[in-house]
Amino acid sequence: MVKTSNLGYPRIGEHREWKKALENFWNGQLAPETFLQQMKQIRLELLQKQQQSGVDLIPIGDFSFYDHVLDTALMFGLVPQRFQTKRFPDDLSLYFAIARGEQDLVASEMTKWYNTNYHYIVPEWHGQVPNLLNNRPLQLYLEAKTELGIEGKPVIIGPFSFAKLSKGYAKEQFAEVLHSLVAPYAQLLRELREAGVRWVQIDEPSLVTSITKAEMDLVSSVYQQLRNEVPDLSLFLQTYFAAVSFYEDVVALPVDGIGLDFVAGYAGNLEHLRTCSFPRDKVLGLGLIDGRNIWKTDYQQAAELFGEVKQWVPLENIWLQPSCSLLHVPVSLKQETELAPTLKNALAFAEEKLQELADLKEIFLQPESDRSLQKREANKQALQALAQSPERAVSPHQPARVTKRAAAFAQRQPLHAAKWQLPILPTTTIGSFPQTADLRQTRRLWRQGQITEQEYETAIREKIAKWIKLQERLGLDVLVHGEFERTDMVEFFGEKLQGFAFTRNGWVQSYGSRCVKPPIIFGNVRFVEPMTVKETVYAQSLTEKPVKGMLTGPVTILNWSFVRNDLPRQEIAYQIADALIEEVRCLEQAGIEMIQVDEPALREGLPLKREEWHSYLQWAVTAFRIATSDVANSTQIHTHMCYSEFGDILSAIRELDADVVSIETSRSHGELIADFEQEQFDKGIGLGVYDIHSPRIPSEAEMEKILERALSVLPAQLFWVNPDCGLKTRKEEEAIAALEKMVRAAKKVRAKITITPK
């Protein structure tokens, strides 16, 4: 009998109860005992929802207080060395200190979970030996069984992927690090077996990346050791985000089931099945529901795939699944009362995807029943209605696209230096300033129609004026207007462009308690009217110092939206770029000639297989250049990137041809700086000198150290000083104190430099 299986579920709750509990705890409004009780209640409610949906195999252990990778690291006792020097009152205090930092302790590095917009906390080894300190999956399994009668499927990150996601060891030590995990993983699995667990889901997404044959052999060795330790526990190895590498080796692993992604990895995994078949004695997790996008599954296509798969796999060995954890999609469509019916009827969030699992199971097992036929017909009509909507009509005209600046950077730079007359090591920020409670309340009142457009605009102008004065007092050299009119750096632009739709409650976790509400790109993207000119020009009227125009780049808007799946992503990126260059021209015509077009998600969008990088980077760079190239030589283009490992793509970053590129370095402790020792960078560069995602305020000495280290490999006349990212999530007092120190640090280092800017 075909079964249904889920791989993971959103933690945040239908009304973001999880986020609210976290932030109340951090603010001291919840005692630890109350916080733990609230988290337990949320956790059980999420499990109960899956139970009620009829899922046969419910994941246990995917819930987290912050991040599941951090959970795994601490379960194995991998506490960063700097946190071992301080006594913490309890485990929660240590846990959140590692994630968020403390005044005297830098938070652990945070980076992207493969090619998603979810951020995980990077485990740090530095010579530590992992030991199983507490069996968290076992505790959660017993809780679900006792409280709800759920015979759950514990979910753990596999040893290979966990080691790959970690840092703090040399490349040649990888095999040693991986083998050191065998004993604690074996103990974890033995304890689960002894408690009566039937299936354990072991997530190994790194098996879809460009690994080597030697690494695959290591995986085979490790799993053979684990199998020897627990010969009678059913192990289900789960992959996602792409087709597996070394398919034949993967399906030969000594496990009882293997999950494959037939959405992102459709072509590769299907070809593997056709050419190499699949072991008939193993379960196949058929990932045919998109766990990363919000469109309904095409039941006809799913039925065709199922029909082919059952040629190789017995029905009793097929599990119908999402392609990956549903962590990456919103919780429920229930509250989306304002979406156009044609669009809403083509969507499926996490709750609806569980219903799709039940539908497909019924359709596959009883294809000719009246209910199955009705469900297939309703699904077909919903998808056809969207496909035929006027918003998707093909335009007969393609714009002429400029993809190259009129002059090279070497010719532009003297023009900029003469125009702006900035000191060496100019200081600036990335764009946003704190969004305070009073500002959010004002925006709510405006959206609800309780205050007028003029009253709202006046409130925004007051914030802009306040922060222009503050920036001048702080001594910053290049200012920003603060982005007080923006809720989110992608949503704001989507609201003003054609082709986007917005949810009321479509929240998704990005990092920690930070949730984002991605727009939906459902139609053709078009420029409508100026989006940022009014606020930027007003800010510039208040100061003699330059004010940057602030835009979000085409690749980031693409990667941080739920994107239509009927066109190549490249074409959608070009549509967004065509719209953005119209905005850039409007800013330039209004006298704003220093314009920042942020691309924090450029690296995030890289395919997981290196052989596919070139094609992606080619069109991603082209999209950025479409959005920024048709400007005067005297206009200075900035961009910003954060929280990804950029060393591999420095050449592509150079190809963007931005005049100034700012990149995060503080949480990664300046590791990117070492990359510049190997590869010359000939554009303006700003390496973030402090981490804005942590509440701690760094010292001047810390910032000076980062600056001096950077200047040992980068030319001072090209160097800018800035925070890692925008300051939207920080309190005003935190932002001011940190910026004061940043400016003082820049001035101290500036005073030691003997060259003069050209």
Q: What are the binding residues for Zn(2+)?
A: 640, 642, 664, 725
Say how many residues make up the chain: 758
Cα 732–chain centre separation: 26
Q: Quick one: which of 116, 155, 119, 157 has its CA closest to 293?
A: 116
Residue 164 CA to residue 173 CA, distance in Å, equals 12
Is residue 693 part of the annotated active site? The answer reads yes
Q: What is the separation of C-alpha 83 from the centre of its chain, rounded to a whole number of angstroms? A: 26
Tokens representing residue 110 in the block: 């945070």
Instruction: Return the structure tokens found at 537.
Output: 């020009």
Measured between alpha carbons, how far is 66 from 74 in angstroms, rounded to an integer?
Answer: 12
d(CA 328, CA 482): 29
CA distance 214 to 226: 19
| Buried-exposed string 199-224: b where 16+ CB fall within 10 A, e elsewhere | bbbbbbbbbbbebeeebbebbbebbe
Which one-letter DSSP state was computed for residue 314? Answer: -
Cβ pair 297, 259 in contact under 8 A: no
**DSSP symbol at 285:** E
| Binding residue ranges for L-methionine | 430-432, 483, 598
Q: Please work out, in degrees rounded to the nearest 5, the angle formed at the alpha carbon of residue 75 by the alpha carbons of 70 and 78.
A: 70
**Local structure of 138: helix, strand or coil:** helix
Are 96 and 146 spatial neighbours (Cβ–Cβ below 8 Å)?
Answer: no
Active-site pick, 68, 119, 638, 693: 693
| Cβ-Cβ contacts under 8 Å for 374 (sequence gap 6 or more) | none
DSSP structure class, residue 753:
-
Q: What is the 3-state secondary structure (H, E, C) of 344-367?
A: HCCECCHHHHHHHHHHHHHHHHCC
Task: List binding-site positions for 5-methyltetrahydropteroyltri-L-glutamate.
Answer: 16-19, 112, 117, 514-515, 560, 604
First to last CA, the chain: 75
Q: Are 152 and 58 in contact (CB under 8 A)?
A: yes
CA distances from 26 to 29, 35, 96, 281, 610 (A): 8, 10, 9, 49, 40
**Residue 484 to residue 440: CA distance in whole angstroms:** 9
Q: What's the rounded Cα separation, in Å, for the pair 405 and 634?
A: 11
Whole-number Cα distances in Å, 48 to 265, 389, 502: 30, 37, 28
Q: Cβ distance 673 to 721 under 8 Å?
A: no
Catalytically annotated residues: 693
